[in-house]
Amino acid sequence: MSKPHVMLLTPLPPAVLRTFEGQVEVLRGDEAADRTAFLQEKGHKCRAVILKGHDDFGQAELQLLPNLEIVACSSAGVEAIDHDALHRAGIPLTNASLALKDEVADTALMLILATRKTLLPCDAYVRSGEWGKTGPYPLLSTLKGKRAGLLGFGAIGQEIAARLTAMKLEIGYCTRRQRDVAFPYFANAAALAQWCDILVVIVPGGQDTNAMVDHDVLTKLGPDGTLINIARGSVVDETALLDLLENGKLASAGLDVFQNEPHPNPALTVFSNVVLYPHHASGTVETRNAMAQLAVDNVIAHFQNAPLISPVDRPFHSLGVPK
């Protein structure tokens, strides 16, 4: 029996790629100078595709891949992939959330601590010699007992909840479907923001969550509130965020993602109460390798008629998302 053909549209680490040895034939679309031409030439052979979630993939690509059976994404985000087109074709989609949940949760915790403990101003206070001139730094407010609202409660959100619970914060959440957990559930982002001190954004990107965290939501978070965004820059209305920061109506923000990457709005850089991180929440060698491996493992599971490890639900607009 001939081996199934798997097309790579993103490179994989050599050690991960070796997992396929003896099981599949690999088509290196990631090395092609012209992706469309490569799909036109090789697409009819392909039964699986591995890509990243920011790679555009939809009906046009499906027409060139008549025998496609599965799309495996080596990132958590899948916003550039046309979910509905895949659904109509009966093609499952997987992502890498399970492989990066711990790393991203750690980054969220870092941003929470850096903002609420005013890391940047404290660092400047010491480096500038102000400590010796002025004396002790002003007292802060404890994290213990504060309310953290998780906008999104998938694998990453649950890991964040575990960490913050250990730190004795209260947890609330908002997601598409209420979960069987002890934490209070909120029907929309505005209600969650009204309740919490720290709003952690971890929903997928895409048109259905565009500007979900808008001026109203940020206003409800209040002048003592903190915004943490480790989702996608598109989820937060940056114009509204800047307005509230400039007018002292939001205490702080920790941002791993931005509307314009890798050139975020320079206005964000002037605030000492805003911690900026270069979309690097999963950025360790170990985690990136694990993400690639999970994509490969999903493809292998498919060809072995085993359950997929990390299938992706249909997009928000198909299910109804709280806004």
Instruction: Say yes or no: 91 and 103 in one domain.
Output: no
Contact criterion met (CB below 8 Å) for 156 and 179: no
Residue at 179 is within a domain: yes
Residue 304 has pLDDT above 50, yes or no: yes
Predicted pLDDT of residue 313: 80
Per-residue pLDDT reduced to its tens digit, 141-182: 999 999 999 999 999 999 999 999 999 999 999 998 999 999
Q: Residue 320's pLDDT band (boundaries 50, 70, 90)?
A: very low
Tell me which DSSP letter residue 113 carries: H
Instruction: Say yes or no: 202 and 295 in one domain.
Output: no
Residue 113 has pLDDT above 80, yes or no: yes
Per-residue pLDDT reduced to its tens digit, 252-293: 999 999 999 999 999 999 999 999 999 999 999 999 999 999
Structural domains counted in the chain: 2
DSSP code per residue over 189-248: HHHHHHH-SEEEE----SGGGTT-B-HHHHHHH-TT-EEEE-S-GGGB-HHHHHHHHHTT
Per-residue pLDDT reduced to its tens digit, 181-223: 999 999 999 999 999 999 999 999 888 899 999 999 999 999 9
Instruction: Say yes or no: 114 and 86 in one domain.
Output: no
Residue at 31 is within a domain: yes
Average pLDDT over residues 115-140: 98
Instruction: Say yes or no: 67 and 210 in one domain.
Output: no
Residue at 297 is within a domain: yes
Residue at 73 is within a domain: yes
| Residue range(s) defining the domain that contains residue 49 | 5-97+286-319
Pairing of strands 198-201, 252-255: unpaired
Question: What's the chain's average pLDDT?
Answer: 95
Predicted pLDDT of residue 207: 86
Instruction: Say yes or no: 171 and 54 in one domain.
Output: no
| Residue 83, domain CATH | 3.40.50.720
Per-residue pLDDT reduced to its tens digit, 11-24: 999 999 999 999 99
Instruction: Say yes or no: 261 and 203 in one domain.
Output: yes
Q: Which residues are annotated as catalytic?
A: 232, 261, 279
Rounded-to-integer distance, Cα 311 and Cα 294, Å: 11
Average pLDDT over residues 132-138: 98
Instruction: Say yes or no: 17 and 104 in one domain.
Output: no
Per-residue pLDDT reduced to its tens digit, 92-109: 999 999 999 999 999 999
Residue at 205 is within a domain: yes
Residue at 281 is within a domain: no
Rounded-to-integer distance, Cα 234 and Cα 302, Å: 32
Predicted pLDDT of residue 315: 56
Instruction: Say yes or no: 162 and 308 in one domain.
Output: no
Residue at 61 is within a domain: yes
Angle at 280 between CA 109 and CA 149, to 5 degrees: 35
Instruction: Say yes or no: 248 and 309 in one domain.
Output: no
Instruction: Say yes or no: 23 and 152 in one domain.
Output: no
Residue 323 has pLDDT above 60, yes or no: no
Instruction: Say yes or no: 189 and 126 in one domain.
Output: yes
Instruction: Say yes or no: 76 and 130 in one domain.
Output: no
Q: Which residues of 71-102 are buried (b: 16+ CB within 10 A; e: fewer)?
A: bbbbbbbbbbbbbebbeeeebebbbbbbbbbb
Predicted pLDDT of residue 318: 35
Predicted pLDDT of residue 174: 98
Predicted pLDDT of residue 1: 65
Residue at 160 is within a domain: yes
